């Protein structure tokens, strides 16, 4: 079931958005609603709140009591920026009704409300259900705005034709009926159910190796890419287990096992791997750990020349690849620093005996680690392919498009 964000703008058809929210909720989706000020002159927030079981969002400056989550989900400990969190988690964003004014703002990228701001930040499928007077729909400005949105990949539904709100007027401009909008939203989600029935294991985050009870050797992996992969696989129908090493972010729709050290990650991954069809090894696993972590906190008086003896950890991925059963697909992830980074990744692919490796160049500071964007190269037996730069969510789907073909 998906997380659907509904944006209600001002128009008489706002009453039909209530029915749309009801149908989407009844279908089992988690639904959140954002309304413009104009919309609240037509219908009340209380109606949507009663139907969806979640507060309505209208002001981008007030906190979301659900902290960006959808009904039934666990809230994160951290209070995020509401309009970014709720839209980042959305699987689809439907604007219904979309008035001529709102369509113009969406086309121009104007951010003057929760609805318009979150629309601009949305990387999930966006569906627009126009509703307006026929002459406004036919106006050159509206035609140009709709064409521009479509050119950018936004699905603008055709309005219905018939009796319009103003008495005696007929023509195009009626909002598409709620079941039709829901069908368009579900089609945008279900376009790729190519992992249905597959069991996908994802590791994410970065391991921590204890130096003493309070210090560790760690790395800067936030876990964002692994979470994007896990959530994308779940959206595509897979049964997903996420082994998360020190990941502070929530992950929706997956079974999660939290770990900290490389040894814990290895144990959790090994036990889940046996029943998995695909392993996406996105975690940054330490290659070395302190050989003898101190039982007590080290103190400065220890001396001027403190040195740490390190010992190698097991290569989890290579170990699992060596003992795999037929049909299991293993994908590694490598962050390489500049130069011949694709060649180095191919070397790892061969050494570890895996099916593919996803590599990014960490010498480019605008991608990778803590950034929202990523750009990767997919290296497999079939060759190398540079995937288009995009949000981690878009990149996750592009990776899964290729992984689905390896099985
Ligand atoms: N990996 C692993 N176990 C380790 C280290 C890495 O399973 N102890 C996995 C990572 O999760 C990743 C892949 O191996 O999917 C490549 O990680 P990377 O650190 O780049 O590989 P290394 O073989 O450790 O190479 P390097 O010497 O560049 O660190």
Beta strands in 282-381 (DSSP E): 288-290, 310-312, 329-336, 356-361, 373-374, 377-380
Scored b (16 or more CB within 10 A) or e, 46-84 reads: ebbeebbebebbbebeeebebbbbbeebeeeeeebebbb
Q: How far is CA 118 from CA 22, 157, 259, 337, 386, in A?
A: 22, 20, 33, 34, 29
The C-alpha atoms of residue 68 and residue 89 are separated, in whole angstroms, by 7
In the chain the first and final C-alpha atoms are separated, in Å, by: 25
Q: Which of 153-157, 194-198, 372-376 has the lowest mean pLDDT?
A: 372-376
What is the atom index within ligand 1 of the atom nearest the CA of 313?
A: 8
Angle between helices 140-151 and 100-108 (to 10 degrees): 50
Question: Residues 85-96: pLDDT tens digits?
Answer: 899 999 999 999
Q: Is 283 close to ligand 1, i.e. is its CB under 6 Å away? A: yes
Closest CA to 376 of 257, 225, 243, 239: 225
Angle between helices 14-26 and 178-190 (to 10 degrees): 50
For range 259-274, the mean pLDDT: 98
Please identify which of the residues 219, 246, 294, 374 carries the catalytic annotation: 219
Supply 151's token pair.
């050119």
Name the more confident of 117 and 196.
117
Question: Residues 210-235: pLDDT tens digits?
Answer: 999 999 999 999 999 999 999 889 87
Q: Indicate the DSSP class of residue 284.
A: B
C-alpha 234 – ligand 1 centre gap (Å): 25
Which residue's C-alpha comes closest to atom 8 of ligand 1? 315
Ordered by where they begin, the domains of the chain are 3-188 (3.40.50.1950), 199-406 (3.40.50.10300)
Q: Is 320 close to ligand 1, i.e. is its CB under 6 Å away? A: no
The C-alpha atoms of residue 198 and residue 202 are separated, in whole angstroms, by 13
123 and 394 in contact (C-beta within 8 Å)? Answer: yes
What is the atom index within ligand 1 of the atom nearest the CA of 318?
A: 7
For range 259-280, the mean pLDDT: 98
The C-alpha atoms of residue 61 and residue 113 are separated, in whole angstroms, by 9
- pLDDT of 164: 78
Question: Residues 9-60: pLDDT tens digits?
Answer: 999 999 999 999 999 999 889 999 999 999 999 999 999 999 999 999 998 8
Beta strands in 121-235 (DSSP E): 126-130, 155-156, 160-163, 170-174, 199-205, 209-210, 216-217
Q: Any catalytic annotation for residue 145?
A: no
pTM of the predicted model, to two decimals?
Answer: 0.67
114 and 40 in contact (C-beta within 8 Å)? Answer: no
The C-alpha atoms of residue 252 and residue 248 are separated, in whole angstroms, by 13
E strand or H helix that includes residue 85: helix 82-89
What are the φ and ψ backbone dihedral angles of 329, each rounded to 5 degrees?
Answer: -105, 130
C-alpha 316 – ligand 1 centre gap (Å): 8
254 and 232 in contact (C-beta within 8 Å)? Answer: no
Q: Is 9 close to ligand 1, i.e. is its CB under 6 Å away? A: no
């Amino acid at each position: 079931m998906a997380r659907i964000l509904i944006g209600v703008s001002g128009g008489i058809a706002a009453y039909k958005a209530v029915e749309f929210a009801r149908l989407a909720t009844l279908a089992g989706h988690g639904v959140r609603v954002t309304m413009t000020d104009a919309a609240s002159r037509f219908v009340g927030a209380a109606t949507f709140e009663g139907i969806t079981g979640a507060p309505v969002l209208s002001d981008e400056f007030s906190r979301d009591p659900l902290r960006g989550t959808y009904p039934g989900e666990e809230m994160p400990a951290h209070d995020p920026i509401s309009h970014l969190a709720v839209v980042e988690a959305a699987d689809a964003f439907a604007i219904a009704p979309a008035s001529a004014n709102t369509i113009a703002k969406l086309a121009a990228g104007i951010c003057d409300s929760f609805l318009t701001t979150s629309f601009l930040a949305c990387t999930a499928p966006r569906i627009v259900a126009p509703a307006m007077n026929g002459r406004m729909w036919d106006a050159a400005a509206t035609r140009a705005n709709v064409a521009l949105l479509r050119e950018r990949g936004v699905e603008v539904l055709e309005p219905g034709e018939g009796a319009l709100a103003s008495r005696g007027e007929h023509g195009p401009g009626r909002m598409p009926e709620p079941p039709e909008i829901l069908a368009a939203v579900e089609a945008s989600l279900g376009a790729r159910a190519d992992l249905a029935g597959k069991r996908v294991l994802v590791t994410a985050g970065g391991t921590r190796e204890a130096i003493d009870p309070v210090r560790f050797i760690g790395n800067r992996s936030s876990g964002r890419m692994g979470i994007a992969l896990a959530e994308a696989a779940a959206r595509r129908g897979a049964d997903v287990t996420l082994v998360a090493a020190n990941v502070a972010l929530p992950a929706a729709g997956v079974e999660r096992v939290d770990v900290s050290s490389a040894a814990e990650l290895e144990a959790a991954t090994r036990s889940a791997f046996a029943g998995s069809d695909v392993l996406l090894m996105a975690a940054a696993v330490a290659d070395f750990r302190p050989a003898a972590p101190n039982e007590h906190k080290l103190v400065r008086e220890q001396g001027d020349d403190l040195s740490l003896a390190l010992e190698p950890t097991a290569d989890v991925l290579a170990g699992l690849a060596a003992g795999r059963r037929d049909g299991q697909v293993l994908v590694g992830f490598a962050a390489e620093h500049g130069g011949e980074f694709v060649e180095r990744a191919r070397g790892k692919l061969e050494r570890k005996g895996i099916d593919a490796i996803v590599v990014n160049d960490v010498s480019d500071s605008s991608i990778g680690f803590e950034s929202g964007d990523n750009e990767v190269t997919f290296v497999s037996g079939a060759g190398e392919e540079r995937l288009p730069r995009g949000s981690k969510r878009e990149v996750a789907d592009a990776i899964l498009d290729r992984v689905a073909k390896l099985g």
